[in-house]
Amino acid sequence: MTSPAPLRARHIVLGITGGVAAYKSAELVRLLVQDNIGVQVVMTAAATRFVAPATFQALSGRNVFVDLWDDRVENGMAHIDLSREAAAILVAPASADFLAKLAHGNADDLLSTLCLARDCPLLVAPAMNRQMWEHPATQRNAAQLAADGVALLGPAAGDQACGEVGMGRMLEPGELHQALVAYFAPRLLAGRRVLLTAGPTQEAIDPVRVITNLSSGKMGYALARACAEAGAAVTLVSGPTALATPPGVARIDVMNAAGMLAAVESQLPGQDIFIGVAAVADYTVANPSAVKHKKGDAPLKIELAPTVDILARVAAGARAPFCVGFAAESENVEANAEAKRRKKGVPLLVANRAQDALGSDTNAVTLLDDNGRHPLPAAPKLEVARQIVTHIAGMLAAAGK
C-alpha cells in the first residue's frame, strides 16, 4: 500500500510520550512502514518505561532517539536535524503532560524541542485517563494547540487502561494511519458526496440458508476509504462482510439485493457520485420459505427471479450522479466489460478478472471510459482505489463538473 504523492517518499517523526497506549504505536509504525512512509521514532524518557526503544527500532529500521544530547546525530543538532526532512511530526500517544508542554512552548527534552523547532505540521493523538482529559487545564491546552494550528486526532471514547470508561482513549493505529494519510492526501473530492455499494448479497432460501457469492467487500471498502481520504462525504451500502468501516464513512448494512436497492434509492438524492462495487445477486429466490426446508429424497427445485440492476437503474435516473461500475469477468475481460459499460450507460467502468479479484488483497484493473482503456498495474486494493479516485476526479474536472 502506498500513499498519495505528498506523503510518498517522505517520512515523519513519530513522537511517543509516556502512556499505556504507547504499545499501540508499535502497530502504527508497522502500518506506516508498510505504506512506504519512513518513520523516525523519538521517545520521551517516560515512554521508554512503557515500551523499549528496541521495539520501535526493529519496526522502523532506524535508530530511536530519546536524549537531547545524543551524539549519534553528526552535528549535535538532533533537535533540528531529525525533523528537517519530515513531512510532519505526529505525537502518539500524547500525554496530558506533553500537551501542557506543547501549549506553553516548553522545550526540555528532545521531542518537545523538535516540536518547537519545526517547520512542518504537528499532529497529536491525545491518550489519557478520562478525568485528565476532561480537566479544564487539559481542555485549555488542547484548545490552545488547536488555535496554534496543531491537528488533534482524537481522543476517542471507550474502555480505559485504568478501568474507567470515557473520553481519552487514543485512536486505533489504523485510524491514526488513515488520518495521517488523509491529512496529506490531495482533496480531490472535497465537497463531493459519494454513495457506494460493496460486498456480496445474501438471498434467503429459507431462514437458515442463503445464495451468496465470494465477494469479500475489500475493493468497495478500499474505495470508500480512498474517497474519504480525498475529502468526500461517503455513504457505504454494504452487504455482509467482516470488514471494519473506514473512519469517517457512514455505513448502512443490508442483506440482499432488494435491501441494497432500497438503501441506495433512499440515499441517492444529493449524491454527486455513485460507485457500484457490490457483487449484487443477479437472481433472488422467488418464494423463500418461512420455515427451514426439510431434507428429502426428491431433488429440491428453487425458482430464481431476476433482481433489479442497481447500477443501471441509478445511471438511467433523472439527475443521475456520475456513475462508476465494476465488471467482474472470467474471460474476454475488456471486451465484455466495455459492452457492459455501454449497456448500463455509465461513463466509467472498472474491469477486473473475477478469479483474481475476489477475496484477494491486490487487484489489477483496467479503467474503461469514452477515451479508451487505462490499465493500472497490480497493486494493493487501497492503492488501486486511490488511483480510481484520481481518475474520477480527472473525469469530473474534464467535464467541468
Task: Please choose, out of 123-131, 132-140, 271-279, 355-363, the segment that lies near ligand CTP by the rule CB under 6 A.
Answer: 271-279
Q: Which is nearer to ligand CTP, 109 or 309 (CB)?
A: 309
Interface pick for ligand CTP out of 276, 365, 369, 388 (rule CB under 6 A): 276
Interface pick for ligand CTP out of 85, 134, 164, 282 (rule CB under 6 A): 282
Q: Which of 394, 369, 386 is nearest to 182 (CA)?
A: 386
Does 257 bind ligand CTP (CB under 6 A)? Our answer is: yes
Integer Cα distance of 232 and 392 in angstroms: 12
Q: Which is nearer to ligand CTP, 131 or 336 (CB)?
A: 336
Q: Which is nearer to ligand CTP, 165 or 305 (CB)?
A: 305
Does 352 bind ligand CTP (CB under 6 A)? Our answer is: no
Q: Which is nearer to ligand CTP, 70 or 272 (CB)?
A: 272
Interface pick for ligand CTP out of 205, 278, 357, 365 (rule CB under 6 A): 278
Interface pick for ligand CTP out of 203, 309, 369, 383 (rule CB under 6 A): 309
Does 311 bind ligand CTP (CB under 6 A)? Our answer is: yes
Does 189 bind ligand CTP (CB under 6 A)? Our answer is: no
Q: Which of 115, 120, 162, 227 is catalytic?
A: 162
| Helices 218-229 + 173-184 axis angle, to 10 | 50
CA 394 to chain centre: 21
DSSP strand pairing (165-169 vs 156-159): antiparallel
Distances (CA, A) of 137 to 116, 140, 157, 177: 21, 5, 19, 28
Q: What x/- string results for residues 141 through 180 when contact with ligand CTP is judged by CB under 6 A?
A: ----------------------------------------
Burial class, 145, CB count within 10 angstroms (exposed 0-12 / middle 13-18 / buried 19+): buried
Q: Which of 48, 383, 110, 114 is nearest to 223 (CA)?
A: 383
Does 198 bind ligand CTP (CB under 6 A)? Our answer is: no
* Angle formed at CA 285 by CA 284 and CA 286, multiple of 5 degrees: 110
Distances (CA, A) of 302 to 197, 211, 214, 258, 315: 27, 11, 21, 18, 31
- Has 115 been annotated as catalytic? no
Does 222 bind ligand CTP (CB under 6 A)? Our answer is: no
Task: Please choose, out of 11-19, 167-175, 308-316, 361-369, the segment that lies near ligand CTP by the rule CB under 6 A.
Answer: 308-316
Does 310 bind ligand CTP (CB under 6 A)? Our answer is: yes
Integer Cα distance of 169 and 161 in angstroms: 9
Q: Which is nearer to ligand CTP, 98 or 326 (CB)?
A: 326
Interface pick for ligand CTP out of 17, 25, 129, 197 (rule CB under 6 A): 197
> What DSSP state is assigned to residue 399?
T
Write out 1-67 in H/E/C secondary structure: CCCCCCCCCCEEEEEECCCCCHHHHHHHHHHHHHCCCEEEEEECCCHHHCCCHHHHHHHHCCCCECC
Residue 338, beta-bridge partner list: none
Residues annotated catalytic, as ranges: 162
Tell me which residues touch ligand CTP (CB under 6 A): 197, 257, 276-280, 282, 307, 309-311, 325-328, 340
